[in-house]
Amino acid sequence: MGKFTTYNARIASNPYIVGSFACIGGGLFGLDISSMSGVLNNPSYLSTFNFPNPSAQGGIVAAMPAGSLVGSLAVTQLADKLGRKRTVIVAGLIWVIGSIIQCAAVNRGMLVVGRIISGISVGLSSAVVPIYQSEITAPAIRGRMVSLQQWSITWGILIQYFVQFGCSYIHGVASFRIPWGLQMIPAIILSLGMTVFPESPRWLFDHGYEEEALQVLADLHGGGDTRNELVVLEYEEIRQQVYFERTEGAKSYTDLLKGGNPRRVMLGMSLQMWSQLCGMNIMMYYIIYVFEGAGLTGIRTNLIADSVQYVLNVALTVPAIIYIDKWGRRPMLLVGTLLMGFWMFLVGGIQGRFGHWSLPDATGKIVWVIDGNQAATKAVIVCSYLFVCSFAITMGPVSWTYPAELYSLKVRGKAVSLSTASNWAFNTALAFAVPPGLNSIAWKTYFIFGTFNFAAFLHVFFMFPETVGRSLEEVEEIFQQGHTFTAWRIGKDVGKKTLAEVVEKSKAISRGKGAESPDEKHSEEHVA
């Protein structure tokens, strides 16, 4: 293969295998979500960590997204210097360390430290995996592959939740320590497995490994044939983009402020922000609190009702994976935000109409609860399920896919890192704010998130252009129009290039550098 890296070409020849395996990194995020949601009413957990009040519990939960914020920002450097593949491997190793500390935690401080370390791992993987997937897949399947990131998150949530559910029948601290320890296994598989997969061809080319980049593209998209038309087209587009960016000087953070980059950076960051402000944070981390407020009593009953929601989350993500490259990004976001806003307002309305403040329990805790009204209880549960289904089939997959395909190679690592950091910043804030919010303003909390969804609908409609079916380099053509384009009028032909056009522009750029380069001769041979 060359002097940079070796990998198993037979395994790496299938982009579905390569992209889906990397998704284990997203599964780590899911594991962490249900590792907390499954223990919130576990007596052993509560006694071990001194019965945390809403603010303390919010802090424990928020420790993970706080660490993830740090990890996602670190990708701005690691993804470009270490490479996409090595960064994923490092993320898996860090997760193992965090899981060990959580499993052994004897007080809140130790638990928080473990969750912060695990969060750094999740931040790294959640930022770099979509970059890696988008750079190793062809445009026709890119949305499907990157959306697997969201599906892996839902599987992580589901698997860990059922492990938690099974261990809830164990008495003592083993009921929560065993699940926290078992979550090391996927990370070990991820780090070891990634060693047999290729590095991103775009990263390889950008760092001077042109032959390796061409061979990786051929293995992934051309059955090993370096003269395959799709392979040559992708190779020339990458070559053209890299040479153009090199003429602009070294990479720096100031590149994010040049040309159309500020708009793109804001689009990616705002989409990840809306993915948190839509209210999915409540339905994943704190679903036990939601169902308690709906009047669902009993630990086992609540856990079973929660598990239905997690199964629906996994199942309804499948249609999005299959059809995301047919439906398009904009329609999915627009429909999703409207539906989620509707269900959130319905949950809040039912809670406000039929609920009341409960009497203090043995610990002095009071909650807004629906008592003695089975119809209202069931309505809240059903609306919660429908909300999660709406997220799973729309916002969930697109929130990872869209930012990964917005940026040029020169700023992709930094820009996607900032987008993911936006996710974790709002995730951290909401993890802190939701328990006190439910404890103080109760049902009005749902109205706040419903309003956020309708605001997101307007933002998407006016500002987000469609990117489906375009190569990463073709997306550049959309934003090179500056602020003159109208998001909802971007045609499917904008940015589209033929092979001849790409090669001709690439040769022109090479001539602009000086004498004809060996790379130009190489590309002419492939076109011939």
- Produce one character per residue of 153-178: b if its CB has 16 or more CB atoms within 10 Å, e if not: bbbbbbbbbbbbbebbeeeeeebbbe
Confidence band, pLDDT 50/70/90 cuts, at residue 518 = very low
Confidence band, pLDDT 50/70/90 cuts, at residue 119 = very high
Q: Identify which of 254, 455, 430 has the alpha carbon closest to the alpha carbon of residue 338.
A: 455
DSSP single-letter state for residue 369: E
Confidence band, pLDDT 50/70/90 cuts, at residue 15 = confident
Confidence band, pLDDT 50/70/90 cuts, at residue 240 = confident
Please write the tens of the pLDDT for every residue from 250-259: 567 777 887 7
Identify whether 281 is part of a domain.
Answer: yes
Residue tagged 């940026």 (tokens):
407
- Do both 35 and 150 map to the same domain? yes
- Do both 279 and 371 map to the same domain? yes
pLDDT at 526: 41
Token pair recorded at residue 59: 């802090």
pLDDT at 12: 55
Which residues does residue 355 pair with via DSSP β-bridges, in sequence order?
A: 370
Last residue of a domain, one of 153, 168, 197: 197
pLDDT at 514: 43
- Do both 278 and 359 map to the same domain? yes
DSSP single-letter state for residue 260: T
- Do both 169 and 283 map to the same domain? no
Identify whether 515 is part of a domain.
Answer: no
Identify whether 129 is part of a domain.
Answer: yes
Last residue of a domain, one of 147, 179, 197: 197
Confidence band, pLDDT 50/70/90 cuts, at residue 439 = confident
What CATH number should be reported for the domain holding residue 143?
1.20.1250.20
- Do both 331 and 445 map to the same domain? yes
Identify whether 526 is part of a domain.
Answer: no
Confidence band, pLDDT 50/70/90 cuts, at residue 389 = very high
Instruction: Report whether pLDDT(200) > 80.
Output: yes
- Provide, rounded to the nearest whole percent, the portion of the chain with pLDDT above 70: 86
- Do both 276 and 170 map to the same domain? no
Token pair recorded at residue 102: 């959580």
What is the mean predicted confidence (pLDDT) over 316-329?
A: 90
Last residue of a domain, one of 437, 452, 469: 469
Number of domains in the chain: 2
The number of beta carbons lying within 10 Å of the beta carbon of residue 515 is 7
Domain that holds residue 354: 256-469
Identify whether 405 is part of a domain.
Answer: yes
Taking each helix axis as running N to C, give the angle between helix 374-393 and helix 395-404, from 0 to 180 degrees, rounded to the nearest 10: 20
| Alpha-carbon span 13 to 220, nearest angstrom | 5
155 CA to centre of own chain: 13
Q: How far apart are the first and last CA of the chain?
A: 24
Identify whether 213 is part of a domain.
Answer: no
| Alpha-carbon span 436 to 494, nearest angstrom | 48
Half-sphere exposure of 192 (CA within 13 A, CB side): 7
| Alpha-carbon span 314 to 318, nearest angstrom | 7
| Alpha-carbon span 502 to 508, nearest angstrom | 10
- Do both 182 and 279 map to the same domain? no
The per-residue pLDDT of the chain, averaged, comes to 83
- Do both 156 and 293 map to the same domain? no
- Do both 191 and 273 map to the same domain? no
